[in-house]
Structure 1
Amino acid sequence: MPKKDILDFLKELSSNNSKEWMDENRNWYLQEKAAFLEKVAEILAQLSIDEPGFSDLRPKDCVFRQNRDIRFSANKAPYKSNMAAYFSVGGKKSEGPGYYLHVQPGGSFVGGGIWMPQAPILKKIRQEIDYSGKELRNLLMSPEIKNTFGEMQGEKLKTSPKGFEKDHPFIEFLRYKSFILSHPIPDEEIHSGAYVATTLEAFSKMRPFQAFLNQAVSISDEDDILL
Protein backbone atom coordinates (compact mmCIF):
# COMPACT_ATOMS: atom_id res chain seq x y z
CA MET A 1 0.00 0.00 0.00
CA PRO A 2 1.41 3.44 -0.95
CA LYS A 3 2.57 5.56 1.96
CA LYS A 4 0.00 8.17 2.97
CA ASP A 5 1.05 11.78 2.56
CA ILE A 6 -0.23 15.35 2.79
CA LEU A 7 -2.90 14.92 0.10
CA ASP A 8 -4.25 11.78 1.77
CA PHE A 9 -4.45 13.64 5.06
CA LEU A 10 -6.24 16.61 3.50
CA LYS A 11 -8.73 14.33 1.71
CA GLU A 12 -9.59 12.63 4.99
CA LEU A 13 -9.80 15.96 6.80
CA SER A 14 -12.15 17.34 4.16
CA SER A 15 -14.46 14.32 4.60
CA ASN A 16 -14.25 14.31 8.40
CA ASN A 17 -13.92 17.97 9.27
CA SER A 18 -14.45 17.90 13.02
CA LYS A 19 -12.49 18.42 16.21
CA GLU A 20 -13.15 14.81 17.18
CA TRP A 21 -11.53 13.47 14.00
CA MET A 22 -8.60 15.88 14.29
CA ASP A 23 -8.00 14.87 17.89
CA GLU A 24 -7.94 11.20 16.88
CA ASN A 25 -5.53 11.90 14.02
CA ARG A 26 -3.39 14.58 15.63
CA ASN A 27 -0.15 12.65 15.18
CA TRP A 28 -0.86 12.30 11.45
CA TYR A 29 -1.58 16.03 11.24
CA LEU A 30 1.64 16.92 13.08
CA GLN A 31 3.60 14.62 10.77
CA GLU A 32 2.24 16.24 7.61
CA LYS A 33 2.56 19.74 9.03
CA ALA A 34 6.23 19.08 9.86
CA ALA A 35 6.84 17.73 6.35
CA PHE A 36 5.20 20.81 4.81
CA LEU A 37 7.28 23.12 7.00
CA GLU A 38 10.41 21.35 5.70
CA LYS A 39 9.35 22.05 2.10
CA VAL A 40 8.65 25.68 2.97
CA ALA A 41 12.13 25.90 4.54
CA GLU A 42 13.63 24.66 1.25
CA ILE A 43 11.70 27.29 -0.68
CA LEU A 44 12.71 30.07 1.72
CA ALA A 45 16.36 29.10 1.49
CA GLN A 46 16.31 29.38 -2.30
CA LEU A 47 14.25 32.58 -2.32
CA SER A 48 16.75 34.20 0.02
CA ILE A 49 19.57 33.74 -2.47
CA ASP A 50 18.04 36.18 -4.96
CA GLU A 51 15.88 38.16 -2.52
CA PRO A 52 17.78 38.66 0.76
CA GLY A 53 14.70 40.17 2.42
CA PHE A 54 13.42 36.63 2.94
CA SER A 55 16.48 35.49 4.90
CA ASP A 56 15.04 36.53 8.28
CA LEU A 57 11.81 34.57 7.81
CA ARG A 58 11.21 31.18 9.39
CA PRO A 59 8.84 28.60 7.88
CA LYS A 60 6.27 29.19 10.62
CA ASP A 61 6.23 32.88 9.66
CA CYS A 62 4.83 31.85 6.28
CA VAL A 63 2.54 28.86 6.93
CA PHE A 64 -1.12 29.54 7.74
CA ARG A 65 -2.91 27.97 10.70
CA GLN A 66 -5.06 24.91 9.98
CA ASN A 67 -7.92 26.27 12.06
CA ARG A 68 -10.54 28.36 10.27
CA ASP A 69 -11.93 31.60 11.65
CA ILE A 70 -15.63 30.69 11.75
CA ARG A 71 -16.87 33.69 13.72
CA PHE A 72 -18.34 35.48 10.72
CA SER A 73 -18.67 32.56 8.29
CA ALA A 74 -21.71 30.51 7.33
CA ASN A 75 -19.33 27.57 6.87
CA LYS A 76 -18.70 26.27 10.38
CA ALA A 77 -16.17 23.58 9.42
CA PRO A 78 -13.38 24.10 11.98
CA TYR A 79 -10.41 23.28 9.73
CA LYS A 80 -9.12 24.28 6.31
CA SER A 81 -8.97 21.50 3.73
CA ASN A 82 -5.63 22.81 2.40
CA MET A 83 -2.18 23.73 3.63
CA ALA A 84 -0.75 27.00 2.40
CA ALA A 85 2.14 29.41 2.80
CA TYR A 86 2.59 33.08 1.92
CA PHE A 87 6.13 34.28 1.26
CA SER A 88 6.34 38.02 1.82
CA VAL A 89 9.04 40.09 3.48
CA GLY A 90 6.63 40.82 6.32
CA GLY A 91 5.55 37.19 6.67
CA LYS A 92 2.07 35.76 6.16
CA LYS A 93 0.44 38.78 7.82
CA SER A 94 2.02 41.22 5.39
CA GLU A 95 -0.30 43.47 3.41
CA GLY A 96 2.24 43.76 0.62
CA PRO A 97 2.89 41.63 -2.46
CA GLY A 98 4.16 38.10 -2.02
CA TYR A 99 4.42 34.55 -3.33
CA TYR A 100 1.84 31.91 -2.45
CA LEU A 101 1.80 28.10 -2.32
CA HIS A 102 -1.50 26.23 -1.93
CA VAL A 103 -1.67 22.44 -1.44
CA GLN A 104 -5.09 20.82 -1.77
CA PRO A 105 -6.25 17.55 -3.38
CA GLY A 106 -7.11 18.34 -7.00
CA GLY A 107 -6.60 22.06 -6.46
CA SER A 108 -2.95 22.78 -5.68
CA PHE A 109 -1.37 25.84 -7.24
CA VAL A 110 1.47 28.33 -6.98
CA GLY A 111 0.75 32.01 -7.27
CA GLY A 112 1.87 35.50 -6.46
CA GLY A 113 0.92 39.14 -6.41
CA ILE A 114 -1.41 40.92 -4.03
CA TRP A 115 -4.97 39.95 -3.11
CA MET A 116 -7.59 42.60 -2.27
CA PRO A 117 -5.19 45.26 -0.94
CA GLN A 118 -6.48 47.96 1.38
CA ALA A 119 -7.54 51.23 -0.27
CA PRO A 120 -4.25 53.15 0.31
CA ILE A 121 -2.19 50.32 -1.21
CA LEU A 122 -4.62 49.85 -4.10
CA LYS A 123 -4.38 53.57 -4.80
CA LYS A 124 -0.58 53.33 -5.03
CA ILE A 125 -0.76 50.37 -7.41
CA ARG A 126 -3.20 52.22 -9.66
CA GLN A 127 -0.96 55.26 -9.56
CA GLU A 128 1.96 53.10 -10.72
CA ILE A 129 -0.20 51.66 -13.50
CA ASP A 130 -1.22 55.18 -14.52
CA TYR A 131 2.42 56.15 -15.01
CA SER A 132 3.97 52.80 -15.97
CA GLY A 133 1.12 50.74 -17.41
CA LYS A 134 3.14 49.99 -20.55
CA GLU A 135 5.76 48.28 -18.40
CA LEU A 136 3.09 46.13 -16.74
CA ARG A 137 1.54 45.26 -20.10
CA ASN A 138 4.90 44.26 -21.57
CA LEU A 139 5.91 42.03 -18.68
CA LEU A 140 2.49 40.32 -18.61
CA MET A 141 2.85 39.65 -22.34
CA SER A 142 6.39 38.28 -21.99
CA PRO A 143 6.63 34.58 -22.94
CA GLU A 144 7.85 33.50 -19.50
CA ILE A 145 4.79 34.96 -17.76
CA LYS A 146 2.21 34.48 -20.51
CA ASN A 147 3.07 30.83 -21.17
CA THR A 148 3.25 29.89 -17.50
CA PHE A 149 0.45 31.90 -15.89
CA GLY A 150 -1.81 33.05 -18.70
CA GLU A 151 -3.81 36.19 -17.95
CA MET A 152 -3.51 38.17 -14.74
CA GLN A 153 -6.34 37.20 -12.38
CA GLY A 154 -8.34 39.08 -9.79
CA GLU A 155 -11.71 40.66 -9.13
CA LYS A 156 -12.44 43.73 -11.26
CA LEU A 157 -14.59 46.81 -11.10
CA LYS A 158 -17.38 46.94 -13.66
CA THR A 159 -16.62 50.60 -14.30
CA SER A 160 -13.50 52.74 -14.24
CA PRO A 161 -12.11 53.54 -10.77
CA LYS A 162 -12.58 57.00 -9.31
CA GLY A 163 -10.18 59.50 -10.83
CA PHE A 164 -9.61 57.61 -14.10
CA GLU A 165 -11.40 58.01 -17.40
CA LYS A 166 -13.00 54.97 -19.01
CA ASP A 167 -10.81 55.49 -22.09
CA HIS A 168 -7.56 55.53 -20.10
CA PRO A 169 -4.92 53.59 -22.12
CA PHE A 170 -4.43 51.14 -19.23
CA ILE A 171 -8.03 50.92 -18.01
CA GLU A 172 -7.88 47.13 -18.43
CA PHE A 173 -5.42 47.01 -15.51
CA LEU A 174 -6.80 49.92 -13.49
CA ARG A 175 -10.10 48.10 -13.01
CA TYR A 176 -8.46 45.25 -11.09
CA LYS A 177 -8.94 45.06 -7.31
CA SER A 178 -6.50 42.14 -6.96
CA PHE A 179 -3.38 41.47 -9.02
CA ILE A 180 -2.62 37.75 -9.17
CA LEU A 181 -0.63 35.27 -11.25
CA SER A 182 -1.39 31.58 -10.76
CA HIS A 183 -0.21 28.21 -12.08
CA PRO A 184 -1.76 24.81 -11.20
CA ILE A 185 0.25 21.98 -9.66
CA PRO A 186 -0.93 18.41 -10.39
CA ASP A 187 -1.41 15.97 -7.53
CA GLU A 188 1.40 13.81 -8.89
CA GLU A 189 3.94 16.55 -8.16
CA ILE A 190 2.67 16.93 -4.61
CA HIS A 191 2.96 13.18 -4.03
CA SER A 192 6.51 13.06 -5.45
CA GLY A 193 7.75 16.27 -3.84
CA ALA A 194 8.61 17.74 -7.24
CA TYR A 195 6.33 20.67 -6.49
CA VAL A 196 9.16 22.43 -4.65
CA ALA A 197 11.10 22.81 -7.91
CA THR A 198 7.92 23.82 -9.78
CA THR A 199 7.16 26.42 -7.12
CA LEU A 200 10.62 27.94 -7.23
CA GLU A 201 10.60 28.06 -11.03
CA ALA A 202 7.23 29.82 -10.99
CA PHE A 203 8.42 32.30 -8.36
CA SER A 204 11.46 33.07 -10.49
CA LYS A 205 9.35 33.71 -13.59
CA MET A 206 6.99 36.07 -11.79
CA ARG A 207 9.79 38.11 -10.17
CA PRO A 208 9.41 41.06 -12.61
CA PHE A 209 5.68 41.18 -11.79
CA GLN A 210 6.46 41.20 -8.07
CA ALA A 211 9.06 43.92 -8.60
CA PHE A 212 6.44 46.10 -10.32
CA LEU A 213 4.02 45.70 -7.39
CA ASN A 214 6.74 46.24 -4.80
CA GLN A 215 7.81 49.42 -6.56
CA ALA A 216 4.21 50.62 -6.40
CA VAL A 217 3.58 49.92 -2.72
CA SER A 218 6.99 51.30 -1.69
CA ILE A 219 5.98 54.81 -2.76
CA SER A 220 5.83 56.89 0.40
CA ASP A 221 2.88 59.12 1.20
CA GLU A 222 5.17 62.11 0.68
CA ASP A 223 6.10 60.87 -2.78
CA ASP A 224 2.42 60.30 -3.43
CA ILE A 225 1.68 63.95 -2.69
CA LEU A 226 4.53 65.16 -4.89
CA LEU A 227 3.26 63.09 -7.79
Structure 2
Amino acid sequence: MIHPIITKEVFQFLNQLKENNNREWFTENKKQFKVHEGEVKVFFNGLLEVLKTHDEIEKLKVFRIYRDVRFSKDKTPYKYNFSASFSRAGNHRRGGYYLHIQPEGSFIATGFWNPNKEDLFRIRKEWEQDADELKEIMTQKDLKSVWGTMIGDEVKTAPKGFDKTHKNIDLIRKKQFIFVRNFSDKEVLDESFIMEVNRSFKVIRPYFDLMSNILTTNLNGESLLD
Protein backbone atom coordinates (compact mmCIF):
# COMPACT_ATOMS: atom_id res chain seq x y z
CA MET A 1 0.00 0.00 0.00
CA ILE A 2 1.34 3.44 -0.94
CA HIS A 3 0.94 6.00 1.84
CA PRO A 4 0.80 9.79 1.37
CA ILE A 5 3.92 11.83 2.06
CA ILE A 6 4.90 15.35 3.04
CA THR A 7 6.78 16.97 0.15
CA LYS A 8 9.67 19.42 0.24
CA GLU A 9 7.44 21.91 -1.58
CA VAL A 10 5.24 22.09 1.53
CA PHE A 11 8.24 23.13 3.61
CA GLN A 12 9.34 25.61 0.94
CA PHE A 13 5.93 27.28 1.00
CA LEU A 14 5.86 27.45 4.80
CA ASN A 15 9.32 29.04 4.82
CA GLN A 16 8.14 31.61 2.28
CA LEU A 17 5.08 32.32 4.41
CA LYS A 18 7.26 32.82 7.48
CA GLU A 19 9.33 35.39 5.57
CA ASN A 20 6.26 37.10 4.09
CA ASN A 21 3.75 36.88 6.89
CA ASN A 22 1.32 39.52 5.70
CA ARG A 23 -2.10 39.56 4.09
CA GLU A 24 -0.93 41.00 0.77
CA TRP A 25 1.56 38.19 0.11
CA PHE A 26 -0.84 35.52 1.32
CA THR A 27 -3.63 36.80 -0.92
CA GLU A 28 -1.31 36.73 -3.93
CA ASN A 29 -0.23 33.17 -3.10
CA LYS A 30 -3.50 31.76 -1.80
CA LYS A 31 -3.91 29.40 -4.75
CA GLN A 32 -0.51 27.87 -3.95
CA PHE A 33 -1.48 27.64 -0.27
CA LYS A 34 -4.65 25.74 -1.17
CA VAL A 35 -2.64 23.22 -3.18
CA HIS A 36 -0.27 22.51 -0.29
CA GLU A 37 -3.07 22.54 2.27
CA GLY A 38 -4.85 19.92 0.17
CA GLU A 39 -1.72 17.76 0.03
CA VAL A 40 -1.28 17.92 3.80
CA LYS A 41 -4.95 17.12 4.39
CA VAL A 42 -4.47 13.99 2.29
CA PHE A 43 -1.59 13.07 4.60
CA PHE A 44 -3.66 13.74 7.74
CA ASN A 45 -6.50 11.59 6.40
CA GLY A 46 -4.04 8.87 5.48
CA LEU A 47 -2.75 8.90 9.05
CA LEU A 48 -6.34 8.77 10.30
CA GLU A 49 -6.94 5.57 8.36
CA VAL A 50 -3.75 3.99 9.69
CA LEU A 51 -4.62 4.97 13.27
CA LYS A 52 -8.03 3.36 12.86
CA THR A 53 -6.34 -0.03 12.40
CA HIS A 54 -5.48 -0.09 16.12
CA ASP A 55 -7.60 2.61 17.79
CA GLU A 56 -11.10 4.09 17.60
CA ILE A 57 -10.84 7.65 16.31
CA GLU A 58 -13.90 9.87 16.57
CA LYS A 59 -12.69 13.05 14.90
CA LEU A 60 -9.91 14.53 12.80
CA LYS A 61 -9.52 18.28 13.27
CA VAL A 62 -7.26 20.20 10.88
CA PHE A 63 -6.30 23.55 12.38
CA ARG A 64 -6.67 26.70 10.31
CA ILE A 65 -3.66 28.66 9.06
CA TYR A 66 -5.04 31.90 10.51
CA ARG A 67 -3.68 33.02 13.87
CA ASP A 68 -5.87 34.37 16.67
CA VAL A 69 -4.05 37.64 17.39
CA ARG A 70 -6.59 39.15 19.78
CA PHE A 71 -4.57 38.48 22.91
CA SER A 72 -1.10 38.14 21.41
CA LYS A 73 1.74 40.63 21.13
CA ASP A 74 2.67 38.90 17.88
CA LYS A 75 0.25 40.32 15.32
CA THR A 76 1.44 38.31 12.30
CA PRO A 77 -1.75 36.95 10.75
CA TYR A 78 -0.68 33.43 9.73
CA LYS A 79 0.85 30.34 11.22
CA TYR A 80 3.72 28.82 9.27
CA ASN A 81 2.77 25.25 10.07
CA PHE A 82 0.10 22.69 9.32
CA SER A 83 -1.34 20.78 12.27
CA ALA A 84 -4.10 18.38 13.18
CA SER A 85 -5.52 16.54 16.15
CA PHE A 86 -7.12 13.11 16.33
CA SER A 87 -9.73 12.54 19.06
CA ARG A 88 -10.39 9.07 20.41
CA ALA A 89 -13.99 7.82 20.35
CA GLY A 90 -16.25 7.24 23.34
CA ASN A 91 -16.29 8.35 26.96
CA HIS A 92 -14.28 5.29 27.95
CA ARG A 93 -11.33 6.24 25.72
CA ARG A 94 -9.31 9.19 26.95
CA GLY A 95 -6.36 11.00 25.41
CA GLY A 96 -5.66 12.21 21.91
CA TYR A 97 -3.02 12.61 19.24
CA TYR A 98 -1.50 15.75 17.70
CA LEU A 99 0.72 16.24 14.64
CA HIS A 100 2.56 19.48 13.84
CA ILE A 101 4.32 20.01 10.48
CA GLN A 102 6.75 22.95 10.44
CA PRO A 103 10.18 23.52 8.92
CA GLU A 104 12.79 22.78 11.61
CA GLY A 105 9.99 22.40 14.14
CA SER A 106 7.89 19.31 13.40
CA PHE A 107 6.68 17.18 16.27
CA ILE A 108 3.98 14.87 17.50
CA ALA A 109 2.38 15.04 20.93
CA THR A 110 -0.02 12.97 22.95
CA GLY A 111 -1.52 12.76 26.41
CA PHE A 112 -3.52 15.22 28.49
CA TRP A 113 -2.79 18.88 27.76
CA ASN A 114 -5.13 20.72 30.12
CA PRO A 115 -7.39 18.34 32.10
CA ASN A 116 -10.47 19.94 33.66
CA LYS A 117 -10.28 20.37 37.42
CA GLU A 118 -12.29 17.21 38.13
CA ASP A 119 -10.05 15.04 35.97
CA LEU A 120 -6.91 16.70 37.34
CA PHE A 121 -8.01 16.04 40.92
CA ARG A 122 -8.86 12.43 40.10
CA ILE A 123 -5.44 11.88 38.50
CA ARG A 124 -3.63 13.42 41.46
CA LYS A 125 -5.59 11.31 43.93
CA GLU A 126 -4.60 8.23 41.96
CA TRP A 127 -0.90 9.12 42.16
CA GLU A 128 -1.35 9.88 45.87
CA GLN A 129 -2.75 6.39 46.36
CA ASP A 130 -0.48 4.46 43.98
CA ALA A 131 1.67 5.36 40.97
CA ASP A 132 3.49 2.05 40.53
CA GLU A 133 1.60 1.04 37.39
CA LEU A 134 2.24 4.40 35.74
CA LYS A 135 5.94 4.25 36.60
CA GLU A 136 6.16 0.75 35.18
CA ILE A 137 4.54 1.89 31.92
CA MET A 138 6.79 4.93 31.62
CA THR A 139 9.89 2.76 31.93
CA GLN A 140 8.83 0.31 29.21
CA LYS A 141 11.63 0.12 26.67
CA ASP A 142 9.51 0.90 23.59
CA LEU A 143 7.70 3.84 25.14
CA LYS A 144 10.82 5.36 26.66
CA SER A 145 12.86 5.02 23.44
CA VAL A 146 10.15 6.70 21.37
CA TRP A 147 8.77 9.32 23.75
CA GLY A 148 11.35 9.85 26.48
CA THR A 149 9.83 11.16 29.70
CA MET A 150 6.44 12.70 30.46
CA ILE A 151 6.45 16.51 30.50
CA GLY A 152 4.02 19.29 31.37
CA ASP A 153 3.47 22.35 33.52
CA GLU A 154 3.37 21.82 37.27
CA VAL A 155 2.85 23.70 40.51
CA LYS A 156 6.00 24.69 42.41
CA THR A 157 5.49 22.68 45.60
CA ALA A 158 2.23 20.77 46.03
CA PRO A 159 -1.42 21.27 45.06
CA LYS A 160 -3.73 22.36 47.86
CA GLY A 161 -4.60 19.42 50.08
CA PHE A 162 -1.60 17.28 49.07
CA ASP A 163 1.52 16.53 51.08
CA LYS A 164 4.60 18.15 49.52
CA THR A 165 6.76 15.37 50.98
CA HIS A 166 4.72 12.56 49.36
CA LYS A 167 6.88 10.01 47.54
CA ASN A 168 4.99 10.68 44.30
CA ILE A 169 4.94 14.48 44.57
CA ASP A 170 6.84 14.76 41.26
CA LEU A 171 3.71 13.37 39.58
CA ILE A 172 1.09 14.90 41.90
CA ARG A 173 2.23 18.46 41.23
CA LYS A 174 1.87 18.13 37.47
CA LYS A 175 -0.94 20.03 35.72
CA GLN A 176 -0.30 18.43 32.33
CA PHE A 177 0.58 14.85 31.42
CA ILE A 178 2.00 14.87 27.92
CA PHE A 179 4.63 13.24 25.72
CA VAL A 180 6.34 14.95 22.77
CA ARG A 181 8.54 13.55 20.01
CA ASN A 182 10.42 15.88 17.66
CA PHE A 183 11.26 15.11 14.02
CA SER A 184 13.89 16.57 11.71
CA ASP A 185 12.87 17.87 8.29
CA LYS A 186 14.65 14.87 6.74
CA GLU A 187 12.55 12.47 8.82
CA VAL A 188 9.30 14.25 7.91
CA LEU A 189 10.10 14.13 4.20
CA ASP A 190 10.94 10.42 4.30
CA GLU A 191 8.32 8.11 2.78
CA SER A 192 8.25 6.12 6.03
CA PHE A 193 7.17 9.16 8.10
CA ILE A 194 3.48 8.29 8.27
CA MET A 195 4.22 4.79 9.58
CA GLU A 196 6.76 6.11 12.09
CA VAL A 197 4.16 8.54 13.44
CA ASN A 198 1.65 5.70 13.61
CA ARG A 199 4.15 3.45 15.40
CA SER A 200 4.84 6.21 17.92
CA PHE A 201 1.15 6.68 18.66
CA LYS A 202 0.65 2.92 18.93
CA VAL A 203 3.43 2.67 21.52
CA ILE A 204 1.64 5.13 23.83
CA ARG A 205 -1.44 2.90 24.09
CA PRO A 206 -0.63 1.32 27.51
CA TYR A 207 -0.46 4.83 28.96
CA PHE A 208 -3.82 5.72 27.42
CA ASP A 209 -5.36 2.49 28.68
CA LEU A 210 -4.23 3.24 32.23
CA MET A 211 -5.37 6.87 32.16
CA SER A 212 -8.70 5.93 30.58
CA ASN A 213 -9.29 3.44 33.37
CA ILE A 214 -8.39 6.02 36.03
CA LEU A 215 -10.62 8.72 34.58
CA THR A 216 -13.65 6.47 34.22
CA THR A 217 -13.53 4.92 37.71
CA ASN A 218 -13.47 6.14 41.29
CA LEU A 219 -10.64 5.38 43.74
CA ASN A 220 -12.28 2.06 44.57
CA GLY A 221 -12.14 1.04 40.91
CA GLU A 222 -15.90 1.34 40.41
CA SER A 223 -17.03 2.55 36.98
CA LEU A 224 -18.34 6.10 36.68
CA LEU A 225 -19.92 5.39 33.30
CA ASP A 226 -23.56 4.44 32.85
Pairs within 5 Å for 1:1-227: 4-52=8-56, 54=57, 56-57=58-59, 61-89=60-88, 97-219=95-217
- Local SS of the residue matching 1:49: coil
Two-structure CA RMSD over aligned residues (Å): 2.3
Q: TM-score, normalising length from structure 1?
A: 0.85
Residue 124 to residue 76, structure 1, CA distance change in 2 (3 Å) = same
Q: Which moved more, 1:201-210 or 1:126-135?
A: 126-135
SS of equivalent residue, structure 1 residue 169: coil
Residue 169 of structure 1: how far off its partner (Å): 2.4
Unaligned runs of 5+ in 2: 1-6
Structure having the higher helix fraction is 1
Query: Which whole-Å deviations, capped at 9, do the CAs of 1:65-111 have from their partners, x for residues lacking one?
Result: 11111111111111112111111136xxxxx6211111111111112
Alpha-carbon distance in 2 for matches of 1:188, 1:122: 37
- Aligned residue pairs total 213
Question: Displacement, 1:163?
Answer: 2.0
Residues in 2 aligned to 1:141 and 1:47: alpha-carbon distance in whole angstroms: 24
Q: Is the 8 A contact 1:139 1:209 kept in 2?
A: yes
Give 2:77's aligned amino acid.
P
Whole-angstrom distance in 1 between the partners of 2:216 and 2:118: 12
Amino acid aligned to 1:87: F
Provide the identity percentage: 33
CA pair 131-51 structure 1, distance change in 2 beyond 3 A: farther
Match of 1:93 in 2: none
**Structure 1 stretches of 4+ moved >4 Å:** none
Displacement of 1:224 in angstroms is: 9.5
